[in-house]
Amino acid sequence: MAESVYIETTVVSYLTAKDSLDATTRAHQHATRRWWRGRRKHYDLYVSPFVIQEAGTGDPTAARRRIRVVSRMPQVAVTDAVTRLATLLIHRGAVPKAAQVDSFRVALAAVHGLEYLLTWNCKHIANATKRVHIEECCRESGFEPPVICTPEEMLEE
């Protein structure tokens, strides 16, 4: 059985967007596309209702590209256990209150036993100062935390 990856909306956005004029964003887009072409087939990929909803917003043409990608992936469900862990992540300050959806992303991956959470959200999720607190909350709740990383970190070169 392949390892499992929760695909967060930023990954889908970087995958499907036109190349950015910003050099850092463009590099992230290229790393995402390299991972997608070369590595995704080695994993079972999952999204959530949050990703589906977010993928469908914004520019209609870009939204169609994002939806085409995420509509093929199975969704993990928001359960009572997910809600409890997401609430704890906020209550403990592991994820800022203003980023409540991000607490659900982490909780969805942890509660459903997904090994990885793939994201470019380095402010609230893939952040070394947040990871320790996120992992503590997950383990305290009886769940193994996902490895939170960017596509670049999952490239094998």
66: domain CATH number?
Answer: 3.40.50.1010
Q: How high is the pLDDT of residue 157?
A: 60
Rounded to 5°, the CA angle 124-41-20 comes to: 50
Locus of tokens 């199975």: 74
Kindly report, residue by residue over 66-110, the tens digit of the pLDDT. 999 999 899 999 999 999 999 999 999 999 999 999 999 999 999
Question: How many domains does the structure of the chain reveal?
Answer: 1
- Residue numbers in the chain where pLDDT is lower than 70: 157
66-91 as b/e: b if 16+ CB within 10 A = beebbeebeebebeebbeebbebbbe
Q: How high is the pLDDT of residue 2?
A: 85
pTM score of the predicted model: 0.94
Q: How high is the pLDDT of residue 156?
A: 75
Domain containing 57 equals 3-154
Give the C-alpha separation, 128 to 86, whole Å.
Answer: 19
Give the C-alpha separation, 105 to 101, whole Å.
Answer: 6
Give the C-alpha separation, 109 to 59, whole Å.
Answer: 28
